[in-house]
Amino acid sequence: MRLLHTSDWHLGRSFHRESLQEAQHAFLDHLVHVVETERVDAVLVAGDVYDRALPGLEAVALFDEVLHRLADLGVPTVFISGNHDSARRLGVGSGLIQRAGIHLRTDPGAVARPVLLSDAHGEVAVYGLPYLEPVLVRERFGLERGGHATVLEAALEQVRADLVARPAGTRSVVLAHAFVTGGAPSDSERDIAVGGVASVPAELFDGIDYVALGHLHGAQTLAPHLRYSGSPLAYSFSEARQRKTMWLVDLAADGSVAAQRIDCPVPRPLACLRGTLAELLTAPEYGEFEDCWVQATLTDPSRPAEPMEQLRRRFPHTLQLLFEPAEEPTDRAVSYASRVRGRTDLEVAESFVRHVRPGVELVGRERDWLREGLEQVRTDQQQRAELAR
């Protein structure tokens, strides 16, 4: 069975205020073309269809158009909701839409109800695990506490219980939206850490023939059966060197996997340039980047006058300007920002406690209280955001 694995469309997203609507439309045209030319049997979309819970009309129109085109091809398509999506909104009308072969899996209570596909070798059970926010889904799985790994493990237990009751030889596919240990993140993914713990172990997916992962924006292979497709477009300059692709997966009769990457259209290349303003404006080696979207980091010892205006004379698509003088600043605030960069909320909080209580380390129960407090704050923020929407 031939599967096309994609994820993280983020319909409606812009790139540093540059509209990506045309680029996203071009990607969806490309996806439909690949489905036709490569004789794809099913499409898997592993979450973050939209960029926000309440998407704009243009984004909804793009989604509606691609649903109709895939339905017209008669190719089954399975979607799950991601952490950017509103599961309730994305899942509206799913019961009717599935009659056209479009399967929206957004309900945590339905993780053990697969989409059943078949080929000459028998059935393939496709299980859609939407993004599982621990605080919101624990009760659905009979859990009193636990983070991402705990709720995902509970969901997969239900999947395995259903799978074992099916005929011998039934192959299994799981769609999941999560940060799996070993994956490499980018700057454009929204943090899904709860109490400072974001990742889940890859071993949770042992025994599944193919796992179509979403959330991380770089295409990567954690194991032959465990892959991220990545986003089809770059959504931050940290993705400048990423090759944006989809996975074309052939699932054999014995459940083994062969996969190849299918390149996505590139609307405009990204370039991260670094040097003094004079160097960037005059050095001939930068000429090849004049038509790119540019992030420029200036190393001048003092900030030049009107740097963006000057840069855009040579690089008209300069979108981001950073300053990192060759001499390190002595400002304490800058120094603190550099110390906490890349650290989780829990790590920053633990560091603060050690700072105000020197010589006394956090004991186990204290660390639990701190983790629970951070988790509660994050949950309250999410609930307030939902109410505001």
Residues 19 and 160 in one domain: yes
Residues 208 and 141 in one domain: yes
Residues 45 and 114 in one domain: yes
Residues 89 and 32 in one domain: yes
Domain interval for residue 288: 270-323
pLDDT of residue 333: 52
φ/ψ bin of 237: left (φ > 0), alpha (ψ from -120 to 50), beta (otherwise):
alpha
Domain boundary among 222, 238, 263: 263
For residue 334, list its beta bridge partners.
Answer: none
Count up the domains in the chain and report the number: 3
pLDDT of residue 347: 80
Q: Is the confidence at residue 353, as pLDDT, over 90?
A: no
φ/ψ bin of 332: left (φ > 0), alpha (ψ from -120 to 50), beta (otherwise):
alpha
Residues 127 and 191 in one domain: yes
Instruction: Kindly report the number of other CB atoms within 10 A of residue 104's CB atom.
Output: 24
Better-predicted residue by pLDDT, 193 or 10? 10
pLDDT of residue 196: 44
pLDDT of residue 387: 65
Residues 371 and 302 in one domain: no
> The domain that contains 14 carries what CATH number?
3.60.21.10
Interatomic CA distance for residues 286 and 51, integer angstroms: 33
Interatomic CA distance for residues 387 and 86, integer angstroms: 12
Q: Is the confidence at residue 75, as pLDDT, over 50?
A: yes
pLDDT, tens only, 87-111: 999 999 888 999 999 999 999 999 9
Residues 17 and 152 in one domain: yes
3-state SS assignment for residue 124: strand
Candidates 298, 327, 292; CA nearest to 310 is 298
Residues 284 and 354 in one domain: no
Residues 119 and 229 in one domain: yes
Residues 97 and 220 in one domain: yes
The HSE-up count of residue 174 (CA atoms within 13 Å, CB side) is 30
* Paired tokens of 355: 């700072």
Domain boundary among 263, 281, 308: 263
Domain boundary among 323, 344, 367: 323
Interatomic CA distance for residues 363 and 12, integer angstroms: 45
How many percent of the chain have pLDDT more than 90? Answer: 72
Mean pLDDT across the chain, nearest whole number?
A: 90
Residues 243 and 298 in one domain: no
pLDDT, tens only, 27-70: 999 999 999 999 999 999 999 999 999 999 999 999 999 999 99
Given the DSSP bridges, would you call strands 245-251 and 257-263 parallel, antiparallel or unpaired?
Answer: antiparallel
Task: Provide CB contacts within 8 A for 143, sequence distance 6+.
Answer: 150, 151, 154
Residues 70 and 143 in one domain: yes
pLDDT of residue 354: 72
DSSP, res 197? B
